[in-house]
Amino acid sequence: MAQGLSLTLIFIGVGFMLVAAIGVARMPDVYMRMHSSTKSATFGVGFVMLGVAVAFGDFAIAARAMAVVVFFFITAPVAAHLIARAAYVSGVPMWKGTLGDDLQGCYDREAGVLASTPADASSTGLGGGVA
Protein backbone atom coordinates (compact mmCIF):
# COMPACT_ATOMS: atom_id res chain seq x y z
CA MET A 1 0.00 0.00 0.00
CA ALA A 2 2.65 2.46 1.08
CA GLN A 3 4.92 1.28 -1.72
CA GLY A 4 2.20 1.76 -4.33
CA LEU A 5 1.45 5.26 -3.04
CA SER A 6 5.12 6.22 -3.04
CA LEU A 7 5.64 4.86 -6.58
CA THR A 8 2.59 6.79 -7.80
CA LEU A 9 3.92 10.02 -6.28
CA ILE A 10 7.38 9.45 -7.77
CA PHE A 11 5.82 8.72 -11.19
CA ILE A 12 3.88 12.01 -11.09
CA GLY A 13 7.04 13.88 -10.11
CA VAL A 14 9.15 12.32 -12.86
CA GLY A 15 6.42 13.15 -15.39
CA PHE A 16 6.50 16.81 -14.37
CA MET A 17 10.31 16.86 -14.59
CA LEU A 18 10.22 15.35 -18.09
CA VAL A 19 7.70 18.02 -19.13
CA ALA A 20 10.04 20.68 -17.73
CA ALA A 21 12.96 19.33 -19.77
CA ILE A 22 10.89 19.22 -22.98
CA GLY A 23 9.70 22.76 -22.28
CA VAL A 24 13.24 24.06 -21.88
CA ALA A 25 14.23 22.42 -25.14
CA ARG A 26 11.20 23.53 -27.18
CA MET A 27 10.09 26.96 -25.87
CA PRO A 28 11.11 29.90 -28.10
CA ASP A 29 12.87 32.36 -25.75
CA VAL A 30 14.61 32.48 -22.37
CA TYR A 31 11.65 33.89 -20.43
CA MET A 32 9.30 31.12 -21.55
CA ARG A 33 11.98 28.50 -20.92
CA MET A 34 12.32 29.84 -17.39
CA HIS A 35 8.56 29.52 -16.92
CA SER A 36 8.80 25.85 -17.85
CA SER A 37 11.93 24.98 -15.91
CA THR A 38 11.18 26.77 -12.63
CA LYS A 39 7.56 25.90 -11.96
CA SER A 40 7.32 22.44 -13.44
CA ALA A 41 10.65 21.08 -12.20
CA THR A 42 10.12 22.41 -8.67
CA PHE A 43 6.69 20.80 -8.55
CA GLY A 44 8.24 17.55 -9.82
CA VAL A 45 10.93 17.56 -7.14
CA GLY A 46 8.20 18.17 -4.55
CA PHE A 47 6.28 15.10 -5.68
CA VAL A 48 9.41 12.91 -5.86
CA MET A 49 10.44 13.94 -2.35
CA LEU A 50 6.92 13.24 -1.08
CA GLY A 51 7.19 9.77 -2.59
CA VAL A 52 10.61 9.26 -0.98
CA ALA A 53 9.19 10.28 2.41
CA VAL A 54 6.35 7.76 2.04
CA ALA A 55 8.70 5.02 0.79
CA PHE A 56 11.04 5.09 3.78
CA GLY A 57 8.28 5.66 6.33
CA ASP A 58 10.73 7.02 8.92
CA PHE A 59 10.14 10.38 10.57
CA ALA A 60 13.77 11.55 10.40
CA ILE A 61 14.04 10.74 6.67
CA ALA A 62 10.62 12.24 5.92
CA ALA A 63 11.66 15.43 7.71
CA ARG A 64 14.81 15.60 5.57
CA ALA A 65 12.82 15.07 2.37
CA MET A 66 10.34 17.78 3.38
CA ALA A 67 13.27 20.11 4.13
CA VAL A 68 14.41 19.64 0.53
CA VAL A 69 10.90 20.50 -0.70
CA VAL A 70 10.69 23.64 1.45
CA PHE A 71 14.17 24.70 0.36
CA PHE A 72 13.30 24.29 -3.33
CA PHE A 73 10.00 26.13 -2.96
CA ILE A 74 11.84 29.07 -1.36
CA THR A 75 14.89 29.23 -3.65
CA ALA A 76 13.41 28.45 -7.09
CA PRO A 77 11.45 31.76 -7.41
CA VAL A 78 14.45 33.74 -6.14
CA ALA A 79 16.82 32.12 -8.63
CA ALA A 80 14.33 32.55 -11.49
CA HIS A 81 13.83 36.22 -10.64
CA LEU A 82 17.58 36.84 -10.58
CA ILE A 83 18.17 35.10 -13.91
CA ALA A 84 15.21 36.83 -15.56
CA ARG A 85 16.46 40.20 -14.35
CA ALA A 86 19.99 39.44 -15.57
CA ALA A 87 18.64 38.29 -18.95
CA TYR A 88 16.52 41.44 -19.37
CA VAL A 89 19.33 43.76 -18.28
CA SER A 90 21.89 42.10 -20.55
CA GLY A 91 19.51 42.54 -23.48
CA VAL A 92 18.44 39.01 -24.40
CA PRO A 93 15.81 39.44 -27.15
CA MET A 94 12.24 38.28 -26.65
CA TRP A 95 10.41 35.95 -29.00
CA LYS A 96 9.14 37.73 -32.14
CA GLY A 97 5.53 36.85 -31.24
CA THR A 98 5.70 38.52 -27.82
CA LEU A 99 2.74 40.89 -27.44
CA GLY A 100 4.25 43.52 -25.15
CA ASP A 101 7.17 44.50 -22.95
CA ASP A 102 5.91 46.15 -19.76
CA LEU A 103 9.45 47.20 -18.80
CA GLN A 104 10.16 49.03 -22.07
CA GLY A 105 11.93 52.29 -21.28
CA CYS A 106 12.38 51.40 -17.61
CA TYR A 107 16.00 50.30 -17.89
CA ASP A 108 18.72 52.97 -18.04
CA ARG A 109 21.64 51.17 -19.68
CA GLU A 110 24.23 53.86 -18.90
CA ALA A 111 23.34 54.11 -15.21
CA GLY A 112 22.52 50.41 -14.91
CA VAL A 113 19.27 51.12 -13.04
CA LEU A 114 16.02 49.24 -13.63
CA ALA A 115 13.18 51.55 -12.52
CA SER A 116 9.60 50.49 -11.89
CA THR A 117 8.14 53.20 -14.16
CA PRO A 118 9.42 54.31 -17.58
CA ALA A 119 11.60 57.40 -17.79
CA ASP A 120 9.39 59.06 -20.41
CA ALA A 121 5.69 58.20 -20.45
CA SER A 122 5.42 57.89 -24.24
CA SER A 123 7.65 54.82 -24.56
CA THR A 124 5.42 52.25 -22.88
CA GLY A 125 4.90 48.82 -24.36
CA LEU A 126 1.60 47.38 -25.49
CA GLY A 127 0.54 46.35 -21.99
CA GLY A 128 2.29 49.36 -20.45
CA GLY A 129 1.05 52.63 -19.05
CA VAL A 130 0.83 53.72 -15.45
CA ALA A 131 -1.72 51.63 -13.59
Give the footprint of another protein on this chain (CB under 8 A): 6-7, 10-11, 13-14, 17-18, 20-22, 24-25, 30, 33-34, 37, 41-42, 44-45, 48-49, 51-52, 55-56, 58, 61, 64-65, 67-68, 71-72, 75, 78-79, 82-83, 85-87, 89-93
Between 72 and 118, CB nearer to another protein:
72
Q: How far is the CB of 122 from another protein (least distance, A)?
A: 26
Angle of helix 41-56 versus helix 59-89 axis, rounded to 10: 170
Q: How far is the CB of 5 from another protein (least distance, A)?
A: 13
Between 85 and 123, CB nearer to another protein:
85
Q: How far is the CB of 96 from another protein (least distance, A)?
A: 13
Tell me how far apart the alpha carbons of residues 63 and 77 are, in angstroms, rounded to a whole number.
22
DSSP β-ladder status, 113-114 and 107-108: antiparallel
Between 115 and 121, CB nearer to another protein:
115
Collapse the DSSP code of 116 into the 3-class scheme (helix H, G, I; strand E, B; otherwise coil) and give the result. Answer: coil
Query: Do 127 and 118 form a contact (C-beta atoms < 8 A)?
Result: no
Collapse the DSSP code of 107 into the 3-class scheme (helix H, G, I; strand E, B; otherwise coil) and give the result. Answer: strand
Q: Which amino acid is at 126?
A: L
